[in-house]
Structure 1
Amino acid sequence: MSSISFERSWQISLESATELWLDFPSISIFEMAPVAKGMFSYLKDFDEIPQKDPRLKAHTVVLFKMTCEAAVQLREKGEVVVSENTLKNLGSLHVKKGVIDPHFEVVKEALLRTIKETVGERWSEEMGSTWAEAYDQLAATIKPKMKA
């Protein structure tokens, strides 16, 4: 895992967070899987995605932060560790919303696409691999709790 690639993309992403990360769900996830909109109770009554909705922004920030933390943990410890309580909550919430394994792949693709767009010409395959591995490891910690 390359700390230079991750650190560089992390910094660039933070600088662009307001614009690109707020757009992340609607630009990527809802384009690739329009039915995902139905998983967010506060979006069901909207034809268009309300870009300024604070709940949507909060969800995006949590996803991004957890993936960043996973990448840092992988680099420093070689594994992703999430508290049991957090995992139980995430597992329960994802089951309640109807999340299944293929949904994780859609979110991963959306995350990688957004980071690639954010860092522009500084994107590299190594950077993409770092973020993908972090996301995969995070998803791997949540999925067993969904089955419990």
Structure 2
Amino acid sequence: MKEDIPALSLHFFTQTLEIAPGAKRLFSFLKDTDEIPQNDPKVKSHAVKVFKMTCESAIQLREKGEVASGSTLKYLASAHLHKGIVGSHFEVVKEALLRTVEKGVGEKWCEDMKGAWSEAYDQLAAAIQAEMNKEAAEIQS
């Protein structure tokens, strides 16, 4: 998949918006368009950043037994909290991720691989959501 990160990243982002078209309102660079501008540098940049972070979290989980931590996790939580991201949004992104990885690995795709990517994503999403909850509690205090 490393060889095709830009295309897979855009596929990942496009899949997310196909599953949940209303999510376009969460992205400032998509608010004024009815379609996903495939060549927009902001779209490409964001797509690559999100896809790479998710892939890196899967690698970290395999190597260290944990996903993103520290300042990266706090940044992700804060960004998601302030954008109004909720639990159901994470499920949409998970489905888009699994579709993208399946496309990226082709014939190598199997239930074990699906399970591993699901586990990695679930742990990343849980870590982000736990940190979001902490920040929300601090704001309310």
Q: Is the 8 A contact 1:23 1:51 kept in 2?
A: no
The unaligned stretches of length 5 or more in structure 2 are 136-141
Aligned residue identity for 1:109:
E
Q: What are the equivalent positions in structure 2 for 1:53-72 lying under 5 Å apart?
A: 53-72=40-59
Aligned residue identity for 1:56:
V
Q: What are the equivalent positions in structure 2 for 1:61-140 lying under 5 Å apart?
A: 61-83=48-70, 85-140=71-126
Structure 1 CA distance, aligned partners of 2:129 and 2:32? 29
**TM-superposed deviation, 1:16:** 2.4
Per-residue CA shift, 1:50-73, capped at 9, x if unaligned?
Answer: 111222222222222222222222
Aligned residue identity for 1:25:
F
Q: Report which structure shows greater RCO (CA 8 Å, sep ≥6).
A: 1
Q: Which position in structure 1 is the counterpart of 2:2?
A: 14
Structure 2 CA distance, aligned partners of 1:66 and 1:137? 13
Q: Which position in structure 2 is the counterpart of 1:44?
A: 31
The unaligned stretches of length 5 or more in structure 1 are 1-12
- Root-mean-square deviation (CA, aligned residues, Å) is 1.5
**TM-superposed deviation, 1:81:** 4.0
**TM-superposed deviation, 1:82:** 1.6
Structure 2 CA distance, aligned partners of 1:93 and 1:49? 22
Query: Kindly, what percent of the aligned residue pairs are identical?
Result: 57
Per-residue CA shift, 1:7-50, capped at 9, x if unaligned?
Answer: xxxxxx11222323223212x11111011000001100011111
Structure 1 CA distance, aligned partners of 2:4 and 2:118? 20
Moved over 4 A (4+): none
Structure 1 CA distance, aligned partners of 2:108 and 2:126? 28
Q: Which position in structure 2 is the counterpart of 1:5?
A: none
